[in-house]
Structure 1
Amino acid sequence: MNMASTCGRLYLRYGGALSSNAATYHSYIQVPHCITTIRNSTKISNGLILAGTHLSAQTRLRWRPQTWCYYSLTAKYLTTEAKEKTYQELSRTDVVPSKISLIPETDVLQMNTNPLLLDLDDAEKVYALEEISDEEAVSISIPSIPPGSSSLRDYVDKSETLTKLIQLGVDLWKLEQRTNVGTMLLRLDFTADVAPRLLFLKEIGVEESRFGYIISHNPFILTANLENLQARVNFLKSSKFSSETVASMVSRAPYLLNFSVKRLDNRLAFYQQHLKLSASNTRNIVARLPKLLCGSLEPVKENLKVCEIELGFKENEIQHIAIAVPKVLIANKKKLTKIFDFLHNTMKVPHNLITKFPQVLNTKYLRLRERHLFLEYLGKAQYDPALPNYIALDRLVSLPHEIFCTEVCLATVDDFNLFQKTL
């Protein structure tokens, strides 16, 4: 308070001698923890509080070193609490202003944040819309990669890796939906990281046309250790899978080479033991459906129990079904039981016939139902091989629509379409 009072007395004493052409002005001095107003302040100009007639630019600049001192800490007190404090302090003085003007917080923040004296000359030199020369515009540095984005497409033009992956047929829109995969791809160097893995896939026999599919489903192969990948390929070959079979398995099951040799060995042993298969038959079902080595074993265990307990198949029948249609092992349980129920209870097909034509368990339920009902409508739904006009189950579900109508039903496609409208 001593500093503020002294400044006030100096102003009252010498204020009239500052300019002969200017009217009387009123000062506004702010220091940390103290705000004092000598007389009414009515206007804010360039961050300064003025009253009365405007000073010329020269007069204002001469005043600056003596009077216009603003600390960065002032902004902290220009809230509602600061206003209340100002009224309380003014109430303890003899001067009661009719109007109190405070520096808006936005104005203070836009000024120089030097903790010492703020320089108005510097503030006047900064313009957001100021024109600059072509040389200055060229010298402005721009980030080579956008600072943040929700899509990898914004980085394609700046990343050689993403550009080359797109050329290989990789679906970036699929990968960007997976957690941390986009960041991983941006950090990869195509020459050092991606190219060696692609060369490895080509060396083991994978066709280049399958690279996009493999990376789209398993981008982590781009960061896998090459020695580990080679060890897994060597294990499969040592298990008497041919080189062509290994390449085909990797092409259709992209995650195959992500699993350790120990896990691959345990999976092969599981199918051989639970289905009581020979090594040759085990390789056969795995080669035809390599996903058996990648997915969880729980659905497989559950389907084996369903076939034995709920559906009533014998052990040798389950074995035959698994060898003929390996997909039954990982089929949806609800779909599997629904198809079997329609075959066995509605169509009256016994277990031995279903075992003989196990592909019927892998068909679509709607397709099976519509064709059987149409044959039943025509009086031709006869599936017993010991009786005349026998219709084999494989022809029932595997023939194309037109051939089924003309050769099996001896009807036209239009007849079948009309019948479908009655269902």
Structure 2
Amino acid sequence: MAMASTCAQLCLRCRSPVCKKIYTQVQCCFSTTRASTNICSGSFINRDDITIQSRLRWKQKMCYYNDLTAKYLTTAAKDKKQTVELSSDVVVNHSPLLPNKEAMLATENHISLDLDAPELSALEEISNEEAVSISVPSIPPMSASLRDYVDKSETLTKLVQLGVDLFKLEQRPNVGSMLLRLDFDRDVAPRLLFLKDIGVEDSRFGYIISHNPFILTESLENLQARVNYLKSKKFTAETVASMVSRAPYLLNFGVKRLDNRLGFYQQQLKLSASNTRNVVARLPRLLCGSLEPVKENLKVCEIELGFKENEIQHIIITVPKVLTANKRKLTQIFDFLHNTMKVPHSLITKFPQTLNCKFLRLKERHLFLEYLGKAQYDPAQANYVALDRLVSVPDEIFCTEVALTTLEDFDLFQKTL
């Protein structure tokens, strides 16, 4: 069939009387071949074995040849001769019956079957003209990203300008649809003005809304009541603004819950009102998060680590993050300090920031001092190394002032670990 198709194409280009006869014979040959039984490699292939897809391709080619023949025969009746000047001396005559290659390809590309036409694949490439002609609704009816709505929503546009992270918000269920329903002038602007009035800086608006978009749905009366409660507990206006900036969910909780949380920390830690305010002001998320991790860490400090009540109080007042620290990390650091470095409880209580340091930094610096013979943490001994300088200062200062060596030596030692 491939050879017959090639012959048909050659005959179509020629159109001489002999070729016309050959072209007719080829068509008859094709019909005879399709109707007959073929023999291939000793096995019989009947006509019924021809696939529907092959028939469609054959039908498409035959339509193409017939249409092309009719087209150029009509052209021949109108235009007798066509010439193309190749140079000043040579002129070549082209018969209108002889289609050029570009015309054949252009015509072939537009051939389609009226019946039983196969559907186009979704992966098939389309031209730029076809892509431009595709109509797109002005606002996407459904999208997995808020980015598609930014240009059509004034609220989203201005939130982006404020620095709101839409990607973070769209990961949370129902938040995207909530933001699209908000009107900026009616819903968003009054809350932003409220935050500004209580002392929150404009640069923090994006952070607050990115972490707590539900503040935009809180009534202004409730927000004002919660701020007034904090001020009644002798939190200054600057402290309240700082707490709201660092703990975006703070104003979403009612006055009763805020009062219960403050009472819990004061009673559980046996702290004065002043120390309770100090702890909460430094770590305002204590009023927002769950109390279970806090209770668990207090038990760990008392039972597993062996600190006394007054020692726990001093640790919490100095480093409130111990209340929310990871339990595994807390016990790992204490075990290395107490059992490996031989630091007593009293010295850890004096420098509680060691419980909040990076374990890898503590381990590397201690092993380096031990390698140099300078790992001395007893204040009563010579060459005493303070624990706060061990874990708090940068590597350059640690090497030059504590270890009395160079940063290059410390880097080479770290590679041996």
- Normalising by the smaller structure, the TM-score range is 0.5 to 0.7
Secondary structure at the residue paired with 1:170? coil
Could you tell me which amino acid in structure 2 is paired with residue 333 of structure 1?
Answer: K
Q: Which residue of structure 2 aligns with residue 24 of structure 1?
A: none
Give the alignment of 1:212-227 within 5 angstroms: 212-227=206-221
Residue of structure 1 aligned with 2:396, choices 402, 405, 410: 402
How far residue 378 of structure 1 moved from its aligned partner, in angstroms, is 0.1
Give the alignment of 1:65-104 within 5 angstroms: none
Matched, 1:272 2:266: yes
**Aligned equivalents of 2:168 and 2:219: distance in 1?**
24
Q: Which residue of structure 2 aligns with residue 316 of structure 1?
A: 310
Give the alignment of 1:27-176 within 5 angstroms: 143-176=137-170
Q: Which residue of structure 1 aligns with residue 346 of structure 2?
A: 352
% identical aligned pairs: 84
Residue of structure 1 aligned with 2:183, choices 189, 192, 199: 189
**Deviation string for 1:357-415 (max 9, x for gaps)?**
00000000000000000000000000000111100000000011101001100111110
**Deviation string for 1:274-332 (max 9, x for gaps)?**
10000000000000000100000000000000000000000000000000000000000
Q: Which residue of structure 2 aligns with residue 422 of structure 1?
A: 416
How far residue 105 of structure 1 moved from its aligned partner, in angstroms, is 11
**Aligned equivalents of 1:190 and 1:319: distance in 2?**
46
**Aligned equivalents of 1:227 and 1:287: distance in 2?**
23
Q: Which runs of 5+ in 1 are unaligned?
A: 1-103, 107-136
Q: Which runs of 5+ in 2 are unaligned?
A: 1-114, 118-132
How far residue 143 of structure 1 moved from its aligned partner, in angstroms, is 4.3
How far residue 225 of structure 1 moved from its aligned partner, in angstroms, is 1.1
**Aligned equivalents of 1:105 and 1:311: distance in 2?**
80
Q: Scaled by the length of structure 1, what TM-score is found?
A: 0.67
Secondary structure at the residue paired with 1:373? helix
Higher relative helix content: 2
Residue of structure 1 aligned with 2:299, choices 292, 299, 305: 305
Aligned length in residues: 290
Q: Scaled by the length of structure 2, what TM-score is found?
A: 0.68
**Deviation string for 1:109-168 (max 9, x for gaps)?**
xxxxxxxxxxxxxxxxxxxxxxxxxxxx9xxx9744111111000000000000000000
Matched, 1:371 2:365: yes
Q: After TM superposition, what 4+ stretches of structure 1 lie above 4 angstroms from structure 2?
A: none
Residue of structure 1 aligned with 2:257, choices 245, 248, 263: 263
**Aligned equivalents of 1:180 and 1:105: distance in 2?**
45
Secondary structure at the residue paired with 1:241? coil
**Deviation string for 1:62-98 (max 9, x for gaps)?**
xxxxxxxxxxxxxxxxxxxxxxxxxxxxxxxxxxxxx
| 1:142–1:370 CA distance, 2 compared to 1 (3 A) | closer
Matched, 1:202 2:202: no
Could you tell me which amino acid in structure 2 is paired with residue 249 of structure 1?
Answer: M
Secondary structure at the residue paired with 2:375? coil
Q: Which residue of structure 2 aligns with residue 120 of structure 1?
A: none
How far residue 182 of structure 1 moved from its aligned partner, in angstroms, is 0.4
**Aligned equivalents of 1:387 and 1:393: distance in 2?**
14
**Aligned equivalents of 1:223 and 1:142: distance in 2?**
32
Q: Which residue of structure 2 aligns with residue 343 of structure 1?
A: 337
